[in-house]
Amino acid sequence: MACFLVSAAEAAVVTVVEKHVEKKEKAREAAGEQVSTSAIPLSTKLKWLCTMLWGGAFLLMFEHIWHGEVVPWFPFLTAMENSEDMMEMFKEMATVGVCMMLLVTVVWAVMCVVAEHIAKAPAKAEAKASKED
Amino acid sequence: MTLLITAFAAIISTVLWYTRKDDRMQLGFLSLMFWGASLMWLVDAVFEFVELKSEYFTPAAEDMLNDSFLGLSVVALGLIVWVVRLLIADPEGKLKKALSKR
């Protein structure tokens, strides 16, 4: 009904945070300071999450248009036309929508941990080799 | 079917991204977009399975056909978004060169 709205809302918040973090990282870079302690900057990781959330929400919105649940006129959601459908829509947003948002975020978090580990692996191996020498 | 088609699109775009030396074609963006949608449809499928039980795996032919068309349309839409983004970014400067020639 409108489950994609939950992911879209998270995407909007993450986009704002990502822009703020990117600005901070650029300022640090300009000042000649270390941008980030991790191998992959936080802004890059947040961009991944933004793409997953915006992309997923956009394609799901298309599915809702296909099924006639989203319309181009006010109030844009056919479920908003009567209170019974509206309650069902809110229930779906609270269950399916929240689960979608959580799953995408958890997968992203795992992806970040794995990517960080892979990116740091050569540096760790180099440090280990120099210790042995 | 929509989940299956989108998941295949995500897998193919990820393999293509992995096999390329650089990401000038922005295949990383395409794969992340399809993965996001696949994960969301996976949740949808789980909720539907809980409701329908084994009936979920035996959809009517008409529903399956409609879902297949939807899945293909979703992939086409995702590709359109990617192509438009690629043309705007114009990483190889081909569009700029073509337009400046005119």
d(CA B46, CA A109) in angstroms, rounded, equals: 21
CB pairs under 8 A between A and B: 73
ipTM of the complex model: 0.91
Of B34, B43, B78, Cβ closest to residue A103: B43
Instruction: Say if CB B41 and CB B59 are below 8 A apart.
Output: no
Which residues of B fall within a CB distance of 8 Å from A66? Answer: 70, 73
Give how far the C-alpha of residue A67 lies from the chain's centroid of Cα atoms, to the nearest Å.
25
Give the pLDDT of residue B92: 86
d(CA A47, CA A19) in angstroms, rounded, equals: 9
What is the nearest CA distance from B102 to chain A, expressed in angstroms? Answer: 35
Chain B CA closest to residue A103: B39
Q: Do B40 and A4 touch (CB under 8 A)?
A: yes
Q: Which two tokens stand for residue B19?
A: 């096999």
Per-residue pLDDT tens, chain A, 133 aa: give them: 789 999 999 999 999 999 999 999 999 888 888 777 788 999 999 999 999 999 999 999 999 999 999 999 888 999 888 899 999 999 999 999 999 999 999 999 999 999 999 988 877 777 777 777 6
Domain boundaries, chain B: 2-101
Of B36, B46, B47, Cβ closest to residue A55: B36
A76 close contact with B: CB closer than 8 A = no
Of A48, A51, A56, Cβ closest to residue B39: A56
